[in-house]
Amino acid sequence: MNHLPFDALMELKSGVIDEASQVINRRLSDMPSFFHDQDAVQAQLEEDPVLYRTYIKQSPISPSLWSIGSSVIEPGTVGNEYFMTKGHFHLKEEAPEVYFTVSGSGRLLLQRHSGEAEVKNMAPGVINYIPGGWAHRTVNVGEKPLIFFAVWPADAGHNYGAIEEMGFTKLVVDDRGVPKIIDNPKSAPGLGK
Ligand code: F6R
Ligand code: MN
């Protein structure tokens, strides 16, 4: 394949990538079942806040190409659970990904199908390497937007169903102003594979 080099500009303050080929806007109503406190979800659905936006420059789907994108997760909580992304496995399980945080403060939840989990910090300058086989979800634990850049193989694909079904084994909640990792009583590792 013969592709041309290109440049893109990510506006560091807003996280917006110019000429993104795809902009995804996720509101609470796009993912009500992902939060543990369903009474809080119902109470906040009328306002239906935007939880995050993702700007993607998608390359043609090929194992030798990369896609790039940025995500901006708003600050806030649903009940005591911080605003977060849906989280996904890659459809092509071996496909890895790299995140680079530009601003804000977050946690990266990582989990295998077996339920084995890890939690990593996200802060300006931190590079997170996500190996193949690990689902990944980002959580904004700060008071400003959490903004990060991501690069992944263009043919990785996204499997949201497995996470919707089994949940992450860990939740990130606001405990009187301090982010705390707790066990998710509803998670069921191994489902959705
Ligand atoms: C791409 C990737 C990120 C996320 C984005 C939104 O593989 O991991 O660009 O897609 O942070 O999160 P999801 O896709 O889980 O809604
Ligand atoms: Mn991904």
Tell which atom from ligand 1 comes closest to the C-alpha of 130: 8
Banded model confidence at residue 179, pLDDT cuts 50, 70, 90 = very high
Neighbours of 154 (CB within 10 A): 18
Nearest CA to ligand 1 atom 10: 54
Three-class SS state of 163:
helix
Top pLDDT among 157 and 19 is at: 157
Write down the pLDDT at residue 130. 98
The pair of structure tokens assigned to 173 is 């909640």
Least trusted range by pLDDT, from 36-40, 93-97, 183-187: 183-187
Instruction: Assign 3-class secondary structure to 9-32.
Output: CECCCCCCECCCCEEEEEEHHHCH
Within 6 A (CB) of ligand 1 lie: 54, 69, 71, 85-88, 97, 136, 138, 150, 152, 156, 158
Nearest CA to ligand 1 atom 15: 87
This prediction's pTM:
0.96
Write down the pLDDT at residue 59. 82
How does pLDDT run across 110-151, given as a tens digit for each residue? Answer: 999 999 999 999 999 999 999 999 999 999 999 999 999 999
Euclidean distance between CA atoms 83 and 80, whole angstroms: 9
What's the Cα-to-Cα distance from 53 to each of 81, 84, 147, 159, rounded to whole Å?
18, 11, 10, 18
Pocket test for ligand 1, best of 33, 85, 99 (most atoms within 8 A of CB): 85
